[in-house]
């Protein structure tokens, strides 16, 4: 038993990787789905055990291949990345039961096994980024998850899916290149790639070579910024989410950008924190400025969308703005807000995309006008949609309120009333785009598409309801979200110079 618990960090990544390979070898949809289901439901237990260990003890260090850090690759799990691992693996598990029917209706049968292969591969990559303590290894996992993501998006029914996957491929590759350039620069001045080792060695290096270190930070921030779709580097995101298969939109919106944000936090506070006093740098002002722009531009663009998946994608741009706002504020409350919104937004957005996915499954479209009156036909699904939508606005009693509360506290500390006003005003725009959809869904005449539609099948309904329930639950009981986020933020702020 102890032997297994010592291997948990490796199993977290190796299990989905092996699963992906086996799913590809099976070549048939249903057994591949069963395998994916088994593996993706094992992963939250592994990350739960890791999270428990880090909450009650020291960070976990795992030596890959038995080589001692900083020479070998080290997996290093502390409160922050255990939280991210828990988030990614739980979302990956919860939305999977939805996948079977949705994939069956949206993707050609001979590609089903490949879909599950790519799903697990993407999961392995994302978990790998979160768990690794090695800057270059993070790049490798970034590429694994990105390549899998491109394939997943390209599997969309619409022909434009291929084009948006290609668009994302170009942008994503540029992002990864910039990231690896940044890592190269700091490797040049420190001679190490281990993040923990980097954080101490950068102190000396910064004293001697300040410019390369800052340039490295700049490359990494921009590179990761492209991956997490920080305004104005978000242009790839709406197309990618709009044309991807329904499950993929939900999965990516909930996990891929979140893991990129984790990398941003890890580098700006963890790796560079001791050396360059991140909160005092101009880059934080830049991040705050871009985040506020994202909050408004994303939300305003969402108001004008008629395709609801596109609307949710633009809303993601706006919500990512809130998360990076927390990072840019760089104080205890702000960072807590950012980290907690990682989880809360992931839960809410997954619920919203899945609810739309259920609508697409039943009526084959997610244009706003085609969905009018669907609330009466699919009451449970659309109630869940409304609840998660209220969460996006930040209504008290939902998880979104908790995130915005912390962000507001953090903003007051740094920027005073103008920042707070920006948070409230952009939330008002969210009222418009969520409210508009809820009004059409519940209070309009039924459209011809909706006639004859019925409630989503149970396997699709359950994940949606679970996520909607979580939206409400984490609005009241914040021990698991804000509690852990507070500890992670304390650790990050405490590690600063």
Residues forming contacts to another protein in the complex (CB under 8 A) are 3, 7, 10, 14, 17-18, 20-22, 24-25, 27, 62-66, 117
Q: What are phi and psi of 244, to 5 degrees?
A: -70, 160
Q: Which is nearer to another protein, 24 or 432 (CB)?
A: 24
**Least CB distance from residue 230 to another protein, whole Å?**
33
Q: Which is nearer to another protein, 7 or 200 (CB)?
A: 7
Which of the 8 DSSP states describes residue 481? I
Contact 445, 376 (CB under 8 A): no
Q: Which is nearer to another protein, 22 or 88 (CB)?
A: 22
Q: Which is nearer to another protein, 50 or 419 (CB)?
A: 50
**Least CB distance from residue 98 to another protein, whole Å?**
25
**Least CB distance from residue 187 to another protein, whole Å?**
22
Q: Where are the alpha helices (DSSP H) in 27-78?
A: 29-56
Q: Is the preceding omega at residue 56 within 30 degrees of 0, hence cis?
A: no
Contact 231, 290 (CB under 8 A): yes
| Tokens representing residue 139 in the block | 């790049």
Q: Which is nearer to another protein, 42 or 383 (CB)?
A: 42
Contact 33, 101 (CB under 8 A): no
**Least CB distance from residue 18 to another protein, whole Å?**
5
CA terminus-to-terminus distance, the chain: 40
**Least CB distance from residue 165 to another protein, whole Å?**
16
Convert 309-342 into a string of H (helix), E (strand) and C (coil): HHHHHHHHHHHHHHHHHHHHHCCHHHHHHHHHHH
Residue 266, number of CB atoms within 10 A of its CB:
27
- Bridge partners of 64? none
Longest dimension (CA), the chain: 71
**Least CB distance from residue 64 to another protein, whole Å?**
6
**Least CB distance from residue 14 to another protein, whole Å?**
6
Q: Is the dihedral of CA 258, 264, 270, 271 positive or negative?
A: positive
Q: Which is nearer to another protein, 64 or 431 (CB)?
A: 64
Q: Which residues, in sequence order, are CB contacts of 68 under 8 Å at separation 6+?
A: none
Per-residue DSSP letters for 109-120? Answer: GGGHHHHHHHHH
Q: Which is nearer to another protein, 3 or 458 (CB)?
A: 3
**Least CB distance from residue 110 to another protein, whole Å?**
11
Q: Which is nearer to another protein, 14 or 380 (CB)?
A: 14
């Amino acid at each position: 038993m102890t032997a297994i618990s010592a291997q948990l960090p490796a199993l977290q990544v190796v299990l989905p990787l092996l699963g992906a390979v086996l799913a590809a070898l099976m070549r048939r949809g249903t057994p591949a789905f069963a395998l994916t289901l088994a593996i993706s439901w094992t992963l939250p237990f592994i990350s739960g055990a890791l999270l428990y260990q880090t909450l009650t003890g020291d960070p976990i260090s795992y030596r890959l291949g038995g080589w001692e850090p900083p020479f070998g690759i080290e997996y290093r799990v502390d409160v922050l990345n255990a939280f991210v691992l828990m988030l990614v693996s739980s979302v990956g598990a919860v939305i999977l039961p939805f996948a079977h029917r949705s994939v069956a209706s949206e993707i050609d049968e001979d590609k089903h096994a490949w879909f599950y292969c790519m799903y697990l591969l993407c999961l392995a990559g994302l978990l790998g980024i979160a768990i690794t303590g090695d800057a270059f290894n993070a790049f490798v996992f970034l590429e694994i998850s990105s390549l899998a993501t491109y394939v997943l998006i390209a599997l969309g029914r619409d022909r434009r899916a291929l084009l948006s996957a290609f668009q994302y491929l170009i942008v994503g590759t540029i992002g990864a290149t910039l990231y690896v350039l940044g890592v190269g620069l700091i490797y040049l001045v420190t001679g190490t790639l281990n993040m923990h080792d980097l954080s101490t060695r950068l102190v000396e290096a910064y004293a001697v070579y300040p410019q390369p270190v800052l340039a490295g930070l700049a490359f990494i921030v921009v590179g990761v910024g492209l991956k997490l779709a920080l305004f104005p580097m978000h242009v790839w995101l709406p197309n990618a989410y709009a044309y991807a298969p329904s499950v993929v939109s939900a999965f990516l919106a909930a996990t891929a950008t979140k893991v990129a944000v984790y990398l941003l936090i890890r580098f700006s506070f963890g790796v560079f924190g001791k050396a360059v006093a991140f909160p005092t740098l101009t880059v934080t002002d830049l991040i705050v400025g871009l985040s506020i722009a994202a909050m408004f531009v994303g939300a305003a663009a969402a108001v004008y969308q008629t395709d609801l998946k596109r609307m949710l994608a633009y809303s993601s741009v706006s919500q990512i703005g809130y998360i990076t706002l927390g990072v840019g504020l760089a104080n205890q409350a702000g960072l807590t807000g950012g980290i907690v919104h990682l989880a809360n937004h992931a839960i809410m957005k997954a619920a919203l995309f899945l609810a739309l996915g259920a609508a697409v499954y039943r009526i084959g479209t997610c244009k706003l006008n085609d969905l009018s009156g669907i609330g009466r036909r699919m009451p449970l699904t659309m109630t869940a949609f409304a609840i998660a939508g209220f969460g996006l606005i930040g209504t008290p009693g939902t998880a979104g309120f908790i995130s915005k509360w912390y962000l507001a506290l953090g903003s007051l500390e740094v920027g005073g009333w103008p920042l707070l006003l920006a948070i409230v005003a952009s939330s008002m725009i969210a009222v418009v785009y969520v409210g508009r959809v809820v009004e059409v869904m519940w209070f309009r005449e039924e459209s011809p598409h909706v006639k004859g539609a019925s409630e989503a099948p149970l396997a699709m309904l359950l994940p949606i309801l679970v996520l909607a329930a979580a939206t409400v639950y984490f609005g009241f009981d914040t021990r698991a979200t804000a509690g852990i986020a507070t500890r992670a933020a304390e650790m990050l702020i405490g590690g600063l110079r």
